[in-house]
Amino acid sequence: QVQLVESGGGLVQAGGSLRLSCAASGVTFSDYNMAWYRQAPGKEREFVARIGWNGVSTEYLDSVKGRFTVRRDNAKNTVYLQMNSLKPDDTAIYYCNAARIIVPKYTYWGQGTQVTVSS
């Protein structure tokens, strides 16, 4: 059974930092690109950051570049999102996503973790 379990969300003041974690189980972790998405109230879910299977390639939403850093530890089956200089606009539920890079190309989602940034 595949599980993605996010943690690390919470309430923080603007300018603060949080680190999200997503622990994967039931998968060969290195077979997956990992990503973070977020969904704010009343808005569509949007891409935030992605990291390739070996941790070399990364990609970010423009509005988080320079503030957020995604990394992974394949030995721990975990992906992280370090979020610095948080803004109220970063308030959302953050979801972990796993996308298999080989066929069959399964995709899995975590249950989400709430991040709230107060002004």
DSSP state of 7: E
Quick one: pLDDT at residue 88? 97
**Could you report the per-residue pLDDT of 50-102, keeping only the tens digit for each?**
999 999 999 999 999 999 999 999 999 999 999 999 999 999 999 999 999 99
- Determine the average pLDDT of the residues in 104-116: 96
Question: Quick one: 66 exposed, middle or buried, by C-beta within 10 A (0-12, 13-18, 19+)?
Answer: exposed
**Could you report the per-residue pLDDT of 11-49, keeping only the tens digit for each?**
999 999 999 999 999 999 999 999 999 999 999 999 999
Strand 107-109 versus strand 92-100 pairing type: antiparallel
Amino acid at 49: A
